[in-house]
Structure 1
Amino acid sequence: MAGIIDSTWMVLSDFNAFLNPDDKVGGARPENNMMVPFRSCIDDCGLLEVPVVGDRFTWERNEIKERLDWVFRNFDWEVSHPHMKVHYNLCFKCDHRVIVVSDCGESRRNSISRFFKYQAAWCLKQDFPDIVNASWENKNWLQGCESFKNSAIEWNDKVVGSVAVKKKELLRRLEGIDKARQIGRSNGLQRLEKKIWMEDNRLAAQEELI
């Protein structure tokens, strides 16, 4: 594949392989002859590892931690995206951490305006008809549309949007537990983590109706 691509390219996946012995902590030490084929493949393809921010281990079980998931890019991609970084986020419905690739040199958050999207579940709220009636009262169609958009967004943030706030709070708690587990394992933390994931799944199911 590397021989036929003449532009920028990147590859990321669970390679289930180590590049160096320190890519595993605990258990039997990786043998060098098992790492050579992976190293040779990366070198032959002319790939460069994308730098990692934070915990670099992507899989763990009991006292063993391993880095099995990798992100590589060719030289052209590195030149065009020099600030690119990799973050390994929390595990979600899988025993591997989620790979997140970001370009720290490009911030588009401020340039993206918030768009309006009507949600069918709003009709399930008893006070929603009041929002609609008040928006078009003594207004023409265009004025009513603009008023409804602003009122609905504000109402959604205060009433319906609480689900998103709860999910963010759960994520912060999970990140705190994850950091604590990196220092030392605890059965209590594992039980709490499982309980929080169950609550997150419940909120996700509720969010689908919004």
Structure 2
Amino acid sequence: MGGAGFHANRARPFRQCIQDCVLIDVDLLGPCFTWNQGNLFQLLDRTLYNQAWFLKFSSTAMRHLERLGSDHRPILVQRSRGDSKRGDRLFWFWAALLGHDNFMSTVTSAWAGDAALPGQLVALAEVVKKWNSEVLRNIMK
């Protein structure tokens, strides 16, 4: 809105990629446009997912947030608690752990690998869970 007209030919490769990868373009809640500058408004930021993701997280809500210090609106993906299986629970971090004498050294040693970030986070969560049960005897109790 407010700029040059939409050119379908320019978007064709992107649309073809979405089709080839069998991705679904999510209708987001909130304002129609994710970017603006002056009187020019555009929908640039999108959320795409595949069928496997949808089957696992079917009740996920996605919406645009307000712009804060940027010309883009961030997209919030909220996973419903009902989507996760019993063994796939959320990981809770307790700030009280930071006060324990050897917690940071445990984190540092767990983070020393060369794995990609998702793998590092999974490994760190496992180490913290084990540390919680062995050292603190479960902070929740």
Say whether 1:84 aligns with 2:60.
yes
Instruction: Count residues with an aligned counterpart.
Output: 94
**1: CA distance between counterparts of 2:95 and 2:38?**
46
Partner of 1:74: 50
Secondary structure of the residue that 2:52 maps to in structure 1? helix
Cα distance change, pair 117–53 in 1 and its aligned pair in 2 (3 A): same
Partner of 1:7: none
Secondary structure of the residue that 1:90 maps to in structure 2? coil
Match of 1:63 among 39, 48, 55: 39
Partner of 1:39: 15
Cα distance change, pair 65–106 in 1 and its aligned pair in 2 (3 A): farther
Determine if contact 1:57/1:67 at 8 Å carries over to the other structure.
yes
Percent identity of equivalent pairs: 28
Shift of 1:31: 0.8
Shift of 1:116: 5.8
Secondary structure of the residue that 2:24 maps to in structure 1? strand
**2: CA distance between counterparts of 1:64 and 1:119?**
46
**What whole-Å deviation, never above 9, does each CA across 1:170-189 have from its counterpart, x for those lacking one?**
xxxxxxxxxxxxxxxxxxxx
Say whether 1:117 aligns with 2:96.
yes
Unaligned residue ranges in structure 2 (runs of 5+) = 85-89, 100-141
With the length of structure 2 as denominator, give the TM-score of the two structures: 0.55
Shift of 1:93: 2.8
Cα distance change, pair 105–67 in 1 and its aligned pair in 2 (3 A): farther
**2: CA distance between counterparts of 1:60 and 1:49?**
21
**1: CA distance between counterparts of 2:49 and 2:28?**
13
> Bigger radius of gyration, 1 or 2?
1
Shift of 1:61: 1.5
Determine if contact 1:88/1:99 at 8 Å carries over to the other structure.
yes
Shift of 1:40: 0.3
**What whole-Å deviation, never above 9, does each CA across 1:151-209 have from its counterpart, x for those lacking one?**
xxxxxxxxxxxxxxxxxxxxxxxxxxxxxxxxxxxxxxxxxxxxxxxxxxxxxxxxxxx
Match of 2:62, as an amino acid? V
Shift of 1:119: 9.4
With the length of structure 1 as denominator, give the TM-score of the two structures: 0.38
Match of 1:97 among 73, 94, 97: 73
Which has the larger share of helix?
Answer: 1
Unaligned residue ranges in structure 1 (runs of 5+) = 1-24, 121-210
**What whole-Å deviation, never above 9, does each CA across 1:79-117 have from its counterpart, x for those lacking one?**
111112221112233211112111246499xx9999563
Determine if contact 2:59/2:83 at 8 Å carries over to the other structure.
no
Partner of 1:54: 30
**What whole-Å deviation, never above 9, does each CA across 1:115-139 have from its counterpart, x for those lacking one?**
563999xxxxxxxxxxxxxxxxxxx
**2: CA distance between counterparts of 1:115 and 1:30?**
49
Task: Give RMSD over aligned pairs.
Answer: 2.9
**2: CA distance between counterparts of 1:71 and 1:52?**
8
